């Protein structure tokens, strides 16, 4: 009869990551806070019915994803406009050393491309590449199969890679 104890532990463990996830999807501090609050409110309401052996992290990502999808409907155009502004602002890094500036530019470019991705690709990419979730869990979050989730991520990678064409990329070993 004391759900608060357990749920506060859930907030403590998972809030930062869920918040970062939503922050990455929205790229706006206030929005991310509202959406993560909504996520944890919904989670709190549903928590009593959650089986004790459930994967809480996957469950929270699913809720956050739904919250974001509802939010994203009709907001998409505005988000893209914002992303462009944000990206061009992030490109300027006058004080940093040249290499850092270059890396910063690549990052900003990548972020801007991520934001222009269709919502499902953007979410799949963020869940996989930035939060390193399994495709199985991503599929559950996006209401699709693990294979489809994987296809979304690869589509996203293709588009980001194309957007980086013509830019000097960081050096990596070309084969393993």
Partner 1 sequence: MTSKPSVCVAIEPDLIAAATGEAVASAASRVQSHIAGCATCRNDYAHYRALETVVGDLRSTLPAADAEDARRRLIERLADLRSRLVRYRVAPSPLGPILIAVTEHGVSLVEYLGRGGAAGSRLFREAGVEAEEGGADLDRLHGELGEFIEGRRRQLDWSLDLRSARSDFQRQVMEVTVAVPYGAVASYAGIARELGRPAAVRAVAQALRHNPLPIVVPCHRIIGSTGKLVGYAGNRVALKERLLGVEGVPVNARAASIERGAMYHYDPNPDHQYCLPTCGSILRRPLGQIRLFAHREQAAVWGLEPCVDCRPDLHPLSR
Q: Using CB under 8 A, list all residues that contact partner 1.
A: 1-4, 7-8, 11-12, 15-16, 19-20, 23-24, 29, 32-33, 36-37, 40-41, 44-45, 48-49, 103, 106-107, 110-111, 129-130, 154, 157-158, 160-161, 164-165, 169-176
State the sign of the Cα–Cα–Cα–Cα dihedral 28, 163, 78, 139. Answer: negative
Closest C-alpha among 115, 91, 116 to residue 167: 91
Q: Closer to partner 1 at the Cβ: 73 or 117?
A: 117
Residues 6 or more apart whose CB falls under 8 angstroms from that of 21 comprise 61, 64, 126, 127, 130, 131
Nearest approach, Cβ of 13 to partner 1 (angstroms)? 11
Rounded CA-CA distance 3/44 in Å is 9
Nearest approach, Cβ of 77 to partner 1 (angstroms)? 24
Nearest approach, Cβ of 72 to partner 1 (angstroms)? 19
Rounded CA-CA distance 26/12 in Å is 22
Burial classification of residue 67, based on how many CB atoms lie within 10 Å of its CB (0-12 exposed, 13-18 middle, 19 or more buried): buried
Residue 19 CA neighbour count, 13 Å, CB half: 11
Nearest approach, Cβ of 6 to partner 1 (angstroms)? 11
Q: Closer to partner 1 at the Cβ: 57 or 129?
A: 129
Q: Closer to partner 1 at the Cβ: 55 or 110?
A: 110
Q: Closer to partner 1 at the Cβ: 48 or 73?
A: 48
Q: Closer to partner 1 at the Cβ: 36 or 140?
A: 36
Rounded CA-CA distance 34/26 in Å is 11
Nearest approach, Cβ of 52 to partner 1 (angstroms)? 9
């Amino acid at each position: 009869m004391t759900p608060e104890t357990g749920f506060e532990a859930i907030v403590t463990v998972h809030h930062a990551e869920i918040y970062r996830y939503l922050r990455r999807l929205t790229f706006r501090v206030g929005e991310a806070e509202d959406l993560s609050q909504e996520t944890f409110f919904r989670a709190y309401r549903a928590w009593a019915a959650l089986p004790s052996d459930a994967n809480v992290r996957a469950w929270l990502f699913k809720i956050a994803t739904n919250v974001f999808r509802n939010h994203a409907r009709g907001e998409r155009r505005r988000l893209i406009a914002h992303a462009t502004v944000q990206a061009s602002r992030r490109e300027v890094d006058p004080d940093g050393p040249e290499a850092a500036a270059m890396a910063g530019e690549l990052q900003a470019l990548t972020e801007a491309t991520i934001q222009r991705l269709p919502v499902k690709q953007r979410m799949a990419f963020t869940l996989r590449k930035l939060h390193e979730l399994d495709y199985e869990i991503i599929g559950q979050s996006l209401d699709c199969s693990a294979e489809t989730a994987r296809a979304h991520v690869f589509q996203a990678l293709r588009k980001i890679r194309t957007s980086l064409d013509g830019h000097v990329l960081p050096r990596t070993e070309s084969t393993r």
